[in-house]
Structure 1
Amino acid sequence: MPRASVILPVYNTVAFVWEAIHSILVQTYPDFELIIIDDGSTDGSAFLISQITDPRVVKIFHSTNQGLVATLNEGFNRATGEYIVRMDSDDISTPDRLDVQISFMDQNPLIDVCGAAFTTSSGGVLKVNPASHEEIKTWLLFHCCICHPVTIIRNSMIHRLNIQYDSNYPHAEDYEMWNRLASQVQIANLPINLLYYRQHKGQVSNQHKAIQDATARRIRQRQFSQLGLELSDEENQIMLDILEFKINPYDYHCYTKAVGFANWVLDQNCKYQIYNQELLSMAFSRCISHLPY
């Protein structure tokens, strides 16, 4: 049994998929299986994958496209490693990624999910997400602060809690799962660059942005419901303006509405104690003041 199972779903990314696969096969940590699931590609990706002879590679081919959620859940079911590592077919892992993340998980047995920092190109600006569990849980109310393709997950937790990606949250299935897990397990982010995240026109965030945004709104509303709040369309728009750093401090009406909304949420959190009150206050303050973490 390998220490890690790397799950790599593929769908029509022939221009990038070999770099993604190669970045895993040359890892400094060798004890892994790479589960490549081609989800009915029609662009030559499947043929390229079929030529791989590395014995650590498990190749699965779908005759028709089943969608990312079904493919990811199949990966969960097929994984035999102690850890499940996510990887996308258009990104590049750093050579020491598995070494760093597995070492961290081994040394921190209470952590069940671990993400990391990333850049959008070699030598690019490092994107560092909140590190501690309480910070991550708080910021998840605002947006997804865990980079999906650079996560490592404890397989025992997946089985213990019977975790699957939920197809009811298209194009934001990871954001939904992180929010669901944040109240059950401990999550961390490493401030170390372990991934080059490729940006291109074919990304989900570009092709399906409207659906992704609508799904994210439903996920946030589910979290607000824990605070006893049901947001109106106007209140949802205020929250969106806050989290997108669109509050104009020189527009008195806009600014006071944002501060009033934040205080409303903070009062409810004081009552229900879902989030760390100090961290939630800081998150609202940073967003309203245009100060990203």
Structure 2
Amino acid sequence: MPKASVIMPVYNNAPYVLEAIHSMLTQTYRDFELIVIDDGSADGSADLISQIGDPRVKKVFHSQNKGVVASLNEGLSLATGEYIVRMDGDDISTPNRLEVQISFMDAYPEIGLSAAAFTSTTSDRPKVNPAHHEEIQTWLLFHCCICHPLVIMRNDLVQRLGIRYDSNYPHAEDYELWNRLAFQTRMANLPINLLYYRQHGGQVSHMHKAIQDESARRVRQRQFTQLGLELSPEENQIMLDFMFFRINPWDAQSYSRAAGFANWVLGQNAKYHVYDQQMLNLAFSRCISVQAY
């Protein structure tokens, strides 16, 4: 049994997929299997994948496109490693990625899932997400602060909890899963750049933004329900203004409305104890001052 199982779903990633696979096969850490699932690509991706001869690569080919959730869940079912690692078919892992992430998880058995920092085509500065569990759990109410193609999680956790991605949240299935797991296991983000995240017009965030936004809204509403709250359209808009740093502290009416909303949520959290109260208060304050993390 390999130490890690890397799950890589692929759909029409022909310009990038070999580079993505190569970045995994040249890792300094060698004890892993790479499960590449081509989900009915129509651009030649499957032909490129079929030519790979490395015995660590397990290839799965779908004759028709089933969607990323089906591919991810199939990968979870096929994974035999102690750790499950995510990777996308259009990104590039640093050569030491597995070595760093597996060493961290081995050293901290209380952590069930972790990710790390990354750089992207839109910035040469690493994107560093909240590091500690209480921060991550709280900020997930505002943003997806776990980089999906950088995730590593324990397979025994996956099996024990029956973890699967939920197709009821299309194009935000990862955000839904992290919010769910944040109350079932401890999480961490390493402040170490371990991935080059490629942004391009074919990504879900570009092609299906409206559906993704609606799925994410429903995830957040589920979290607010734990606080005994049902957001109206106006209240949801205030939450979006917090999330996207649109609160103007110099506009008395806008600031008063936002402060009232934040105090309302904080009051409910003090009652239900869903989030760390100090961290939730800090998150609202930082959104006003445009300082996310």
* Same fold? TM cut 0.5: yes
* Structure 1 vs Structure 2 CA RMSD: 0.9
Please state how far the C-alpha of 1:181 moved relative to its aligned partner. 0.5
Q: Could you give the per-residue CA deviations for residues 149-179 of structure 1, whole angstroms, max 9, x where no partner exists? A: 0010100000000010000000000000000
The residue that corresponds to 2:251 in the other structure is: 251
Q: Report what 1:284 is aligned to.
A: 284
Output one character per residue of 1:9-57: Cα deviation in whole Å (capped at 9) or x when no partner: 0000100111100000000000000000000001000000000000000
| TM-score, L = length of structure 2 | 0.99
Report the CA distance between 1:123 and its aligned residue. 8.1
Q: Which residue is 1:48 aligned to? A: 48
Q: Distance in 1 between matches of 2:269 and 2:263?
A: 10
Determine what percentage of the aligned residue pairs are the same residue.
Answer: 70
Is 2:97 aligned against 1:104?
A: no
Q: How many correspondences in the alignment?
A: 293
Q: CA deviation at 1:252?
A: 1.1
CA distance in structure 1 between the aligned counterparts of 2:173 and 2:96, rounded to whole angstroms: 27
- Residue 188 of structure 2 corresponds to 188
Aligned to 2:115: 115
Residue 207 of structure 1: aligned partner: 207
Aligned position for 1:173:
173
Deviation for aligned residue 1:121: 4.2
**Take 1:216 and 1:253, find their aligned partners in 2: how far apart are those partners?**
27
- 2:163 aligned partner: 163
Distance 1:123 1:226 in 2: 36
CA distance 1:81–1:122, shift in 2 (3 Å): farther
CA contact (8 A) 2:122 2:199 kept: no
Whole-Å separation in 2 of the counterparts to 1:169 and 1:102: 29
Q: Which residue of 1 aligns with 2:11?
A: 11
Structure 2: any 5+ residue segments left out of the alignment? none
CA contact 1:122–1:196 (8 Å) conserved in 2: no
Question: 1:248: Cα distance to partner?
Answer: 1.3
Report what 2:68 is aligned to: 68
Distance 1:140 1:47 in 2: 38
In the other structure, the counterpart of 2:146 is 146
> What is the CA distance between 1:134 and its match in structure 2?
0.5
Asked whether 1:37 is paired with 2:46, we answer no
Looking at structure 2, the residues matched to 188 and 279 of structure 1 have their Cα atoms a distance apart, in angstroms, of 15
Query: Normalising to structure 1: TM-score of the pair?
Result: 0.99
What's the CA shift string for 1:203-238, capped at 9, x where partnerless? Answer: 100101101111100000000000000000000000
Task: Please identify runs of 4+ aligned residues in structure 1 that moved more than 6 A.
Answer: none
Task: Tell me the residue number matched to 2:124.
Answer: 124
What one-letter code is carried by the residue in structure 1 that aligns with 2:197? Y
Paired position in structure 1 for 2:79: 79
Q: Counterpart in 1 of 2:241?
A: 241
Matched-pair contact (CA < 8 Å) for 2:9–2:37 = yes
In structure 1, runs of 5+ residues without a counterpart are none
